Amino acid sequence: MAADVTRRSRPGPLLTLGQVRYQLLLLLRSPLGFFITLVIPLLLLVSLNVVHPSAAAAGAAGRLRYAQFLTPAVSAFCLLNACYVTTVTSMVLAREEGILKRLRGTPLPAWTYLGGRSGSALVISLVSVAIIIVTGVSFFHVTILWQAMGYFAAAAGLGIMCFFLLGVAVTTAVPKSDTALPVAYGTVLPLAFISDVFFSSVHAPHWLYDLASAFPVAPVARAMEAAFNPATHSWPMPASGLFVVLGWSAAAAVAIALAFRWEPGPIRWHLG
């Protein structure tokens, strides 16, 4: 028996924009989300600059004032919070509380939901990075190198894409909402510490530097930091770093395709 009548559906891009607005509204009304995405990076920028006001940081392209290093570094941390931590915590909560299952029963296509999520992660990233840079320039005499801002934006764009996909992929492995935040920060913070997000790792042991380089945080953070270094005159992310970022993104996309679920409960693979 064929379907008898077909109703038209609302355009997908319109639904995606609605989802962006909805996710932003939820974040603004969530004290935890607001704290994670906007307050923590700002606190880090201020407190680390206060602790090390005159320290110099050794970057891949030469020595810099610490604030000149830390401002783009904390910007990278903003991307991690906005795209990875927030995605893991809020999506696991939505799934385990049955919100995703309810949405699945509506005409909202899966891609518009994920598109809305990624759009809101992009907006939050832009806002939080802007706050960090404005604070760095206003209070810590950070200089913006306008000729390198294209590199900064491109590296940030890669980071937003990769961290968001990894965040969605990780939700498939987190079974309960109360474990989402520990899992998110338990994976992010160790990587951040070895990936030039808080301190330069130029003088770190080779094995630690190489270990960090195998994960996507370091290539993104180092490229964003290089865009604030006057010695940078070309695209600062090496091919190996780009390969790592794209490789992790692709792996995350595969994991999402195989294991993303709308219903509460443990991981289930879509294998046929």
Partner 1 sequence: MDGAPAFQPPAIVVERLRKDYGRLRAVDGVSFQVRRGEIYALLGPNGAGKTTTVEILEGHRKPTSGSVRVLGFDPGAGGRHFRERIGIVLQSGGVDAELTVREMVGLYASFYAQPRDVAATIEQVGLAGKRRARVRTLSGGQLRRLDLALALVGGPEVLFLDEPTTGFDPNARRDAWEMIAGLRHYGTTILLTSHYLDEVQRLADRVGVMSHGHLVEESTPDALGGRDIAGTLVSFRLPAALRAAELPAGPWDQPENRDGDITMHTDEPTRVLFALTKWAVGQGVELEGLTVARPSLEDAYLRITDDASTGGRGGR
Q: Which residues bind partner 1 (CB under 8 A)?
A: 1-10, 15, 18, 22, 25-26, 29-30, 94, 97-99, 101-102, 104-109, 263
Nearer CB in complex with partner 1: 2/239: 2
Report in angstroms the alpha-carbon separations of 146 from 51, 100, 217: 28, 42, 23
Residue nearer to partner 1 on the CB measure, 141 or 176: 176
Beta bridge partners of 57: 64
Q: Where are the alpha helices (DSSP H) in 29-148?
A: 31-34, 40-51, 66-79, 86-96, 99-104, 110-140
Minimum CB–partner distance for residue 16 and partner 1 (Å): 11
Closest CB 97 distance from partner 1, rounded Å: 3
Query: Which residues share a beta bridge with 58?
Result: 63
Minimum gap (Å) between residue 8 Cβ and partner 1: 5
What does the block give as tokens for 174?
């987190």
CB of 64 or CB of 88, closer to partner 1: 88
Comparison of 25 and 251: residue with beta carbon closer to partner 1: 25
- By beta-carbon proximity to partner 1, the closer residue of 16 and 135 is 16
The C-alpha atoms of residue 197 and residue 193 are separated, in whole angstroms, by 6
Q: How far apart are CA 200 and CA 61, in angstroms?
A: 11
